Amino acid sequence: MTQYAPNPPQQPVTRPSNGLGTSGFVLGVIGLVFSFIPLIGVVAWPLVILGIIFSAVGIGKATNGRATNKGLAIAGLVVSVVGLVVCVLWVAVWSEAVDDVNEEANREAVIRYEVTGDAPSADVTYSTYGDEMTTNQETVTQLPWHKEVTTTGIVKDGQLIVTTGPDGGSVTCKLTVDGEVVKTATASGVFAMATCDSI
Kindly report, residue by residue over 82-114, the tens digit of the pLDDT.
999 998 888 888 888 888 777 777 788 899 999
Torsion of the alpha carbons at 99, 103, 105 and 110, rounded to the nearest 10: -160
E strands within 93-144?
A: 109-117, 122-129, 133-140
Q: Answer whether residue 82 is part of any domain.
A: yes
Q: Answer whether residue 11 is part of any domain.
A: no
Torsion of the alpha carbons at 113, 114, 120 and 125, rounded to the nearest 10: -10
- The last residue of one of the domains, among 105, 123, 143, is 105
- The last residue of one of the domains, among 105, 132, 148, is 105
3-state class (DSSP) for residue 94: helix
Strand 133-140 with 170-177, pairing: unpaired
Q: How confident is the model at residue 161 (pLDDT cuts 50, 70, 90)?
A: very high
Q: Are residues 32 and 80 in the same domain?
A: yes
Task: Spell out the long-range contacts of 62-67 with Cβ–Cβ below 8 A and sequence spacing 24 or more.
Answer: 62/16, 62/18, 62/21, 65/16, 66/16, 66/17, 67/16, 67/17, 67/18, 67/20, 67/21
Distance (Å, rounded) from C-alpha 130 to C-alpha 108?
10
Q: Are residues 115 and 192 in the same domain?
A: yes
Q: Answer whether residue 70 is part of any domain.
A: yes
Q: Answer whether residue 97 is part of any domain.
A: yes
In single-letter form, the type of residue at position 139 comes to T
Chain mean pLDDT for the chain: 86
φ and ψ at 176, to 5 degrees? -125, 135
Q: Are residues 150 and 188 in the same domain?
A: yes
Q: Answer whether residue 132 is part of any domain.
A: yes
Percent of the chain with pLDDT over 90: 45
The CATH number of the domain where 128 resides is what?
2.60.40.2880
Worst-scoring range by mean pLDDT, 5-19, 41-55, 148-162, 172-186? 5-19
Q: How confident is the model at residue 14 (pLDDT cuts 50, 70, 90)?
A: very low
State the average pLDDT over residues 171-199. Answer: 92
Q: Are residues 176 and 188 in the same domain?
A: yes
Q: Are residues 66 and 36 in the same domain?
A: yes
Q: How confident is the model at residue 10 (pLDDT cuts 50, 70, 90)?
A: low
Q: Answer whether residue 133 is part of any domain.
A: yes
Q: Are residues 140 and 81 in the same domain?
A: no
Contacts (Cβ under 8 Å, ≥6 apart) of 8: none
| Angle, helices 19-35/70-106, rounded to nearest 10 degrees | 30
Q: Are residues 130 and 158 in the same domain?
A: yes
Distance (Å, rounded) from C-alpha 155 to C-alpha 152?
8
Q: Answer whether residue 83 is part of any domain.
A: yes
Q: How confident is the model at residue 185 (pLDDT cuts 50, 70, 90)?
A: very high
- The last residue of one of the domains, among 62, 89, 105, is 105
SS (H, E, C) 24-36: HHHHHHHHHHHHC
The range of the structural domain enclosing residue 89 comes to 19-105
Domain count, the chain: 2
Q: Are residues 129 and 163 in the same domain?
A: yes
Question: Is pLDDT above 90 for 153?
Answer: no
pLDDT for position 187: 94
The more confidently predicted of residues 52 and 105 is: 52
SS3 content of the chain, % helix, strand, coil (to 5): 40, 30, 30
Question: Is pLDDT above 90 for 120?
Answer: yes
Q: Are residues 35 and 66 in the same domain?
A: yes
Q: How confident is the model at residue 43 (pLDDT cuts 50, 70, 90)?
A: confident
Q: Answer whether residue 101 is part of any domain.
A: yes
Q: Are residues 75 and 148 in the same domain?
A: no
Burial class (CB in 10 A: 0-12, 13-18, 19+), 26: middle
